[in-house]
Amino acid sequence: MAGRGGVDKNSHWDGVVPPECATDSCKIFRLNKHLEWEVAREPLHHDIDTKKTCGVGPGMSFANAVKDSAAAIGLVPCAVGGTAIKEWARGGQLYDNMVKRAKAAIDGDGEIKALLWYQGESDTGSQHDVDCYKENMETLIRNVRDDLGLPSLPIIQVAIASGDIKYLEKIREIQKGIDIPNVACVDAKGLQLKEDNLHLTTEAQVQLGKFLAQAYLKNFLARE
């Protein structure tokens, strides 16, 4: 979710921003690490996922695809790459920072419209991680809805496209099978991977953002 599109093996981002990820200084904003709003631009997570080089992710193409549905779009980047679901447990740094940032985003007249969740590759390493994934993911959903006071918060998760081949399909099956109201899933399988066979290419990140936008517009915006 943090985005590695355009980042090479030497951790250098090529700086290429596709048209679908273009900046819109009138409509698309991001909450920076200081909890201040600024114009959103790639890489969205440059000051959030600071231990790795960030490139293009799905966030900007998502925002551009849904921006006509709102007066303005506020993106709240919280992702940290290479993390397992257990690291997002309530009380941990990653989870607590996500909730803190989400609450800051709605201070005033903001409204949280959806949570986009793209994670799971780090949970394809063992049968134990597979066995715990469903419960941990469902607990995360319940906790974030409870802590934000949004019991029906729309959540769109991604069924991952890469990981340890031995357990990849098992994690994907769990992700696609989450049966909780107002939780949708889009499938990243088939999207092009980089030469590391793990991260999506820039073009694939753009396409994933469009998938997420389609899911949001179809499953949630139409209900409002």
H or E stretch covering 172: helix 165-177
- What span, in angstroms and rounded, lies between the C-alpha atoms of 159 and 22? 26
Beta bridge partners of 106: none
What is the SS3 assignment for 37? strand
Q: Could you give the angle at the alpha carbon of 50 between the alpha carbons of 47 and 56, nearest 5°?
A: 70
The domains located in the chain, with CATH, are: 19-223 (3.40.50.1110)
User: What pLDDT band is residue 98 in, cutting at 50, 70 and 90?
Assistant: very high
Amino acid in the structure at residue 183: V
- What span, in angstroms and rounded, lies between the C-alpha atoms of 6 and 21? 13
Phi-psi region of 91 (alpha: psi -120 to 50; beta: other; left: phi over 0): left
- The packing angle between helices 127-148 and 93-105, to 10°, is 30
pLDDT digits 0-9 by tens, 149-192: 999 999 999 999 999 999 999 999 999 999 999 999 999 999 99
Q: State yes or no: cis peptide before 43, omega within 30 of 0.
A: yes
Q: Over 70: is that where the pLDDT of 28 sits?
A: yes
- What span, in angstroms and rounded, lies between the C-alpha atoms of 136 and 64? 31
Neighbours of 180 (CB within 10 A): 11
pLDDT digits 0-9 by tens, 120-150: 999 999 999 999 999 999 999 999 999 999 9
State the pLDDT at residue 224.
Answer: 57
pTM for the predicted model, two decimal places: 0.96
Kindly tell me the burial class for residue 107, based on how many C-beta atoms sit within 10 Å of its own C-beta (0-12, 13-18, 19 or more).
exposed
CA distances from 122 to 21, 87, 118, 133, 141 (A): 27, 10, 11, 11, 19
Using DSSP, how many helices (H) and how many strands (E) does the chain show?
5, 6
**Strands laid side by side in the 37-39 sheet:** 37-39, 28-31, 73-75
- What span, in angstroms and rounded, lies between the C-alpha atoms of 81 and 1? 7
Mean pLDDT (the chain) is 97
Give the CA dihedral 21, 22, 24, 28, nearest 10 degrees: 20
